[in-house]
Chains A and B, each alone.
Chain A
Amino acid sequence: DVKVTQSSRYLVKRTGEKVFLECVQDMDHENMFWYRQDPGLGLRLIYFSYDVKMKEKGDIPEGYSVSREKKERFSLILESASTNQTSMYLCASSLSSGQGSFGPGTRLTVT
């Protein structure tokens, strides 16, 4: 089974801080994703990467950036955290067929 790990389960940051969320997958998946999940809104795609150094904006990229320097690692960066970025952040990886594996999630609180 593919294992996807995320650097933190819980994170509390202050408004204006730069925040790094890291994700690592241990299977050779080319695709990696960052989602955020909020009650009533479901999973929303922030960014998608289909290869090293390649990325695409998802549905809600504003206020976020990503980095993929190695195939197994995909980082999400909040340039200047704001309270409306308080959410559950989920990383996923998949083959091109679509079936994917998710990490355990990072619950981020911005105060």
Chain B
Amino acid sequence: EDQVTQSPEALRLQEGESSSLNCSYTVSGLRGLFWYRQDPGKGPEFLFTLYSAGEEKEKERLKATLTKKESFLHITAPKPEDSATYLCAVPRADTGTASKLTFGTGTRLQVTL
């Protein structure tokens, strides 16, 4: 069964204190890994797609990386506006389409002044 596990569940950082969020997965034949950001009471917002081990994507203070077993979302010098829940997801192996996703339960990030 496909599994996506995110850690930590919650993370509290001070402004400027860099850290990483982890997403580990067990799925055969990875067809991409997706990162989303979700603000309270809103729908998730797409951040990145990674397709192969060694790939990296960056957006402002965020950088996503991918290995064969896990992905990291590195946050460099975070600001309070980076506070959100970060979700990762992978396409399910039991379907012909890459659009059916299995989501992790997310990491809730809080950045304080």
Contacts and interface: CB of A to CB of B under 8 A. Distances in A.
Interface of A: 4, 31, 33, 40-43, 45, 48, 50, 90, 92, 94-105, 107
A3 to B, nearest CB: 11
Contacts of B32: 97-99
Interface of B: 31-32, 34, 36, 41-46, 49, 87, 89, 91, 97-101, 103-106
B31 A98 contact: yes
A96 B97 CA distance: 6
B3 to A, nearest CB: 12
Dominant secondary structure of chain B at its interface with chain A: loop
Contact of B97 (A31, A101, A104, A105): A31
30 contacts: A31-B97, A33-B99, A42-B87, A42-B104, A42-B105, A43-B44, A43-B87, A50-B97, A90-B44, A92-B43, A94-B99, A95-B99, A97-B49, A97-B98, A98-B31, A98-B32, A98-B49, A98-B91, A98-B98, A98-B101, A99-B34, A99-B49, A100-B46, A101-B46, A102-B43, A103-B43, A104-B43, A105-B41, A105-B42, A105-B43
